[in-house]
Structure 1
Amino acid sequence: MEENKKTEQQPDPVEKKRCAVVAIIGRPSAGKSTFLNTVCGEKVSIVSPVPQTTRNAIRGIVNGSRGQLVFIDTPGYHDSEKKMNLRLQRLTRERIPESDCILYLIDSVREPGNEEDRICEILKPVSSRVVIGLNKIDLPSAKPSRIRRYLEEKLPEMPASRIFEISAEKDRHIGPLLTALFDLSPEGDILYPEELYTDQEVEFRIAEIIREKAILHTRQEIPHAMYVDIADMEMKRNGKELWVRAFLVVERESQKAMVIGKAASKIKMIREEAMKEFRHIFSYYIHLDLQVRVNKNWRQKDPLLGRLLGR
C-alpha cells in the first residue's frame, strides 16, 4: 500500500506594513477637523461652528495593525479673492501632489455648489488616489443619494466602492473608510513613533486652543480678524508647570474692546476655558497670561500671513 504523502502547509504570507500621507480636503464646515479628532482619538484640530477655522495644514496620526496613516487637515476650500483666502486655497492645493492619498469629505446636508465643483476639478486627475466620505449622515436632512448622483457626473472615474457614508461626529462607519485608505497606501515603514497622534509643537497647540475658545465667544467678523501670538513660554517647577504669555491680536480698537468684554469678562472666560482644555491635553500645568492687542489690517501683511499660515 502506497504511503500517504503529507502536504506541507505553507504559512500565510505576512502583509507588509503600509504608510501614507493623506490630505483631507473639502469645503468649509464639511467636518474635516471633527473627522481628524475622531480617528486620532484626541484633540488635534480645533473645531467651531465658524467656517474656515482651520488655517494651517494640521497633522494627525492614526496607527493600526496594517500600518500608519498621517492625515493632513487642510483649510476649507472657499472661493474668495481676499489675500488670506487665496493663500488658504494655495495651501490646500499644494497638499494634493505631496500626498499618497486624498480623503475628500463632503457635507451630505448641503447642496453641492461652486466650491464643490472646483474641488472635483482639482481631484479628477488624481481620482485613483481618492477616497470620499459623505459626512453628517446622522442628520435627518442628509441626502447622500443626491451627493452620489452629483459625484457620478463630476467624478465619473470614481468607483462607488471608495465612497462611504459616515458620521465623523458620531464615529459611524469610519472603519471601512480607513480600510480603503490603507488599501491605497504604499508599503513602507511608518513615519512617526506609534505613541504619537500629532507632530504639532506645543506652542502651536496652545495658540490654537486659545483661538478656538476666542472664536466660540466672539461673533460677526471678529473670529476671522483674530490670531494668537505666543510672546513667551517658560517651563518652571522642574517641568511641572509651563508659564505662557500670549496675545489675542485683532485688527481694530473696536474689536479689542469686544474681545475684552465688560469688566474684562470675555477675555477672562476665554482664558479659563483654554486652561481647562490644556489640562486634558498636557501632562503639566499651564499658567496662561492672556491679553489683547491690535495689529491694524494684519490680514493684508504678507510676511505675517506667511508666518501664520506656515508658508
Structure 2
Amino acid sequence: MTSITQHSTNEIKKKVAFLALVGRPSAGKSTLLNTLCGYKVAIVSPIPQTTRHAVRGILTRQEGQLIFVDTPGLHLSEKKMNVKLIEVAERTLEESDLVLYVIDASREPGPEESFVVQKIQEKIPFCEQKMVVAINKVDAEGAKPERCRSFIQTKFPALPEDRFCSISALRGDGVAELTDRLFALAPEGELLYPEDTYTDQDVPFRIAEIIREQAILRLRQEIPHCIFVEVADVELREEGTQLWIRAFILVERESQKGIVVGKGGRLIKEIRQASQRELQKIFDWKIYLDLRVKTAPDWRRDDKVLKKLLDR
C-alpha cells in the first residue's frame, strides 16, 4: 500500500483523538475525509448512501494524530440495510473522542438534519464539549451558511462560537483552520498508528470499494444501491511486481446483471478499466483485474450477507 511519511517523530506531548464524521447523506463527509488526510481514503459519488462502512483516515502532524472515522449518512429509513447503516454510524459515535458534524450549506435543514442532531445527543454525553461543526459547500450556488449556523445554535445552544468552521471540502477552503481547531480540542495521548499511515483499510477492502465506486458512477436509478463487490482472489505475480485480482460485482436480480454487463460487455469493460486506473494510483504494483458479475438474490434483506458486508 502506498504511504508517505508526513512528519518525523517528536518528543513533545502529542494530541491524539478518534473523530466521528457525521451528517446526513451527501453532506460531503467522504470528500472532506480525503481532503483532511491528503489522500483518497473514501470513495465518493453523487449517489446518496455511498458510504457503507466506518472508514478510517489518519492525519499525522507535528502536533499529533487525528483518526477520522467516516460514517454512513444518518437518514430516516426502516429498510433493513439502511437500519444497519445507521447502526454503524451510532457505534462510531459511541466509540469516538470527538465529533465532526458536517452540514450542507446548500440544503435547508429538515427532518433528516434533526435526526442527525438527535443521534449525536443520544450517543455522545456532553456533546457540546466534544463537537466541531463544519458548514460545508459554502461555495455552492444558493448556499446559506448562516441558516445552518442558526439551526445548529438552536439545537446546541451551549456550543462555543469558535466550534463553527465554514468550508468547501471539494476546494479545500477553510480546511486548514478546521484541522487546527480539531487538534486544539484533541486530548493528549500516544500515537496509535505509524506516522506514514493514512488509512488502516486492508488491500481487499480498498479494491472492493474502488470497484464499487466506479460501478456506481456508471449506473443509474436504483442499481447503485443493489450492488456490492466481493474480492475473491488477490495474488502477487511476476516476481511481486503485479497485483492480480479476481472480483465480482453482485446484484440482486438477473435483469440487473445484464444492465451492469452492458451491451456486448461494454459497461463491465469500462468499469474494469476505470477501476484498474484508480487502483494504480493507490498501489505500487502493476494492476490486473479480472472482473465479473453474478447474482445474490435479495442480498439487502439477508442478515448473513449484511453482517459479512458491514462488519468489515
Q: TM-score range by the shorter chain?
A: over 0.9
Relative to the length of structure 1, the TM-score reads 0.94
- 1:15 Cα shift? 5.4
Query: Alignment partner of 1:44: what SS?
Result: coil
Query: Alignment partner of 1:123: what SS?
Result: helix
Aligned pairs for 1:124-163 (under 5 A) are: 124=121, 125=125, 126-163=127-164
2:244, 2:141 → 1: CA distance? 46
1:47, 1:63 → 2: CA distance? 23
Aligned pairs for 1:127-276 (under 5 A) are: 127-276=128-277
Amino acid paired to 2:282: I
2:45, 2:141 → 1: CA distance? 21
Query: Alignment partner of 2:35: what SS?
Result: helix
2:288 is aligned to: 287
Query: Alignment partner of 1:88: what SS?
Result: helix
1:64 is aligned to: 61
Amino acid paired to 2:280: R
Amino acid paired to 1:56: H
Task: Select 1:84's aligned residue among 77, 81, 85.
Answer: 81
1:123, 1:262 → 2: CA distance? 46
Aligned pairs for 1:14-163 (under 5 A) are: 16-124=13-121, 125=125, 126-163=127-164
Q: Which structure is higher in RCO with an 8 Å CA cutoff and minimum separation 6?
A: 2
1:176, 1:28 → 2: CA distance? 24
Cα RMSD for the two superposed structures: 1.1
Q: List gaps (5 residues or longer) in structure 2.
A: 1-10
1:25, 1:15 → 2: CA distance? 31
Q: Once structures 1 and 2 are overlaid, which stretch shifts more, 85-94 or 231-240?
A: 231-240
- 1:306 Cα shift? 0.6
- 1:140 Cα shift? 2.6
Output one character per residue of 1:33-86: Cα deviation in whole Å (capped at 9) or x when no partner: 000111111111000000000000000001112100000000011110000000
2:302, 2:141 → 1: CA distance? 43
Query: Alignment partner of 2:52: what SS?
Result: coil
Query: Alignment partner of 2:220: what SS?
Result: coil
Output one character per residue of 1:94-148: Cα deviation in whole Å (capped at 9) or x when no partner: 1112111110000000011111111112223412100000000111311001111
Amino acid paired to 2:131: V
Relative to the length of structure 2, the TM-score reads 0.94
1:182, 1:221 → 2: CA distance? 40
1:130, 1:238 → 2: CA distance? 49
1:93, 1:39 → 2: CA distance? 22
1:114, 1:186 → 2: CA distance? 33
Query: Alignment partner of 2:239: what SS?
Result: helix
- 1:92 Cα shift? 0.3
1:46, 1:209 → 2: CA distance? 7
Query: Alignment partner of 2:17: what SS?
Result: strand
Q: How many residues align?
A: 298
1:3 is aligned to: none
Amino acid paired to 2:37: C
Amino acid paired to 1:305: L
1:9 is aligned to: none
Identity %: 51
1:103, 1:51 → 2: CA distance? 19
1:110, 1:150 → 2: CA distance? 12
Report the structure number with the largest CA radius of gyration. 1
